[in-house]
């Protein structure tokens, strides 16, 4: 066992008994303190130990997408670091990239607590956070200060969401407002129209409502920063086809497949212990193992529909190298994790990347890029 992990055992035990959101906030606060003090003796030593413990360096895992260098395909998904408070730390945990947010133009508190729940019987999480964040202007300032202390070590994306108080017909202005604040402090951007926790948001996935958002963002994008769209796993195939057509028409850089699901099929969890209510009656999106198969199906469909020409970031139910490999050969160029990382711990990144290198050896492939969409060949 890694020596570095020993001090974490009490924290992990305490976390298991505490409110997940409280534990989450405490972790981000600790990482922010470490990042702010990265140039101190203790901060420098701690970060070096993190990198020694969790990072995997191998050129076979490297890919270039949208002119950005990804040293490995495993990224941190949006939702974990909503305000970018630990943005400078994620490379030290071995991630090849990280996506911050979701962020809205206006600061908002999100939905009432409790709003984050673990479903250990399903290796899943239920969240109805409601895009709680400090707003785009605050994130821009936070990231500006972070990059002054240490330039970005990995590509950083920002997930943009609509402010709750913004009317649906004002959505385009809202997204563009956030983008203007943040375009200088990140490498790519994601249009989030698929969270189930902002009222009416998923309706923006329809072509009629999505088009003004895409148009507005690209018109405000003279630097041609990559803009992707994140879609729900619950869409019908024809709806995904419509989104892919708009993605082509508006020169989107790629698709993230997928967000959380609102389905409750085949869950082992029947009653949410924190509320005493049936899981069927609880609002929110479910992530983790229950979404694994569907997200892979959506990745496969997108790759087939686009002939592999539109890069896909695969996310949903990744816990080990087999899960990651399945999404890559289905068509995902790079991947994101969240729930799996919470359950498996920070060692997971190293284990998955090492496992992917073994997969390349087994298949006689030189580079991970050669495995993208392999099952379609």
Contact 225, 189 (CB under 8 A): yes
Structural contact between residues 168 and 200, judged by C-beta atoms closer than 8 angstroms: yes
CB 77 within 8 A of CB 336: yes
What is the SS3 assignment for 156?
A: strand
Helix orientation angle between 292-306 and 321-330, rounded to the nearest 10 degrees: 30
Cα–Cα distance measured from residue 325 to residue 323, given in angstroms and rounded to the nearest whole number: 6
CB atoms within 10 A of CB 296: 24
Quick one: tokens of 324?
């990651």
Instruction: Measure the CA–CA gap between 52 and 92, rounded to whole angstroms.
Output: 9
Which one from 92, 178, 194, 195 is the annotated catalytic residue? 195
Instruction: Identify the helix (H) or strand (E) that includes residue 126.
Output: strand 124-127
Q: Where are the beta strands (DSSP E) in 163-270?
A: 188-192, 227-231, 254-257
Two structure tokens written together for 282? 């609880």
Looking at the DSSP bridge assignments, the partners of residue 103 are 160
**What SS3 class is residue 231?**
strand
Query: How far is Cα 227 from Cα 249, in angstroms, rounded to an integer?
Result: 13
Burial (CB count within 10 angstroms: exposed 0-12, middle 13-18, buried 19+), residue 274: middle
Q: What are phi and psi for residue 100, nearest 5 degrees?
A: -95, 165
Please report how the helices 8-17 and 20-36 are oriented relative to each other, as an axis angle in degrees rounded to 10. Answer: 150
195 given a catalytic annotation: yes
What DSSP string runs through 14-71?
HHHHS-HHHHHHHHHHHHHHHHHTTTSHHHHHHHHHHHHHH----GGG-EEETTEEES
Catalytic residues: 195
């Amino acid at each position: 066992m890694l020596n570095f992990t020993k001090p974490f055992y009490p924290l992990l035990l305490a976390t298991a008994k505490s409110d997940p959101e409280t534990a989450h906030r405490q972790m981000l606060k600790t990482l922010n303190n470490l990042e702010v003090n990265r140039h101190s003796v203790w901060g420098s030593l701690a970060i070096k130990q993190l990198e020694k413990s969790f990072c995997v360096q191998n050129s076979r895992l490297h890919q270039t997408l949208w002119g950005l260098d990804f040293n490995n395909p495993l990224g941190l998904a949006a939702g974990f670091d909503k305000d970018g408070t630990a943005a400078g730390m994620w490379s030290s945990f071995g991630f090849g990239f990280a996506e911050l947010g979701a962020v809205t133009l206006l600061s908002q508190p999100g939905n009432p607590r409790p709003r984050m729940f673990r479903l250990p019987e399903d290796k899943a999480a239920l969240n109805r956070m409601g895009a709680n964040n400090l707003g785009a202007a605050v994130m821009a300032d936070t990231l500006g200060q972070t990059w002054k202390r240490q330039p970005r070590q990995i590509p950083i994306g920002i997930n943009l969401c609509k402010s709750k108080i913004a009317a649906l017909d004002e959505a385009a202005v809202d997204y563009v407002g956030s983008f203007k604040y943040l375009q200088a402090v990140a490498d790519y951007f994601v249009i989030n129209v698929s969270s189930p926790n902002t009222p009416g948001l998923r309706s923006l996935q329809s072509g009629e409502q999505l088009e003004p958002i895409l148009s507005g963002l690209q018109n405000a994008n003279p630097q041609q920063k990559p803009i992707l769209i994140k879609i729900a796993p619950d869409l019908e195939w024809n709806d995904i086809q419509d989104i892919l057509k708009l993605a082509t028409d508006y020169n989107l850089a790629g698709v993230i497949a997928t967000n959380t699901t609102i389905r409750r099929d085949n869950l082992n969890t029947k009653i949410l212990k924190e509320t005493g209510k049936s899981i069927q009656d609880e609002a929110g999106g479910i992530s983790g193992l229950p979404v694994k198969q569907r997200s892979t199906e959506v990745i496969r469909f997108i790759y087939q529909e686009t002939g592999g020409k539109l890069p896909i970031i695969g996310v949903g139910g990744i816990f080990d190298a087999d899960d990651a490999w399945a999404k890559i050969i289905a068509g995902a160029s790079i991947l994101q994790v969240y729930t799996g990382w919470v359950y498996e711990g920070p060692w997971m990144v190293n284990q998955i990347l090492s496992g992917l290198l073994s997969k390349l050896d087994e298949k006689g492939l030189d580079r991970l890029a050669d495995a993208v969409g392999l099952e379609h060949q």
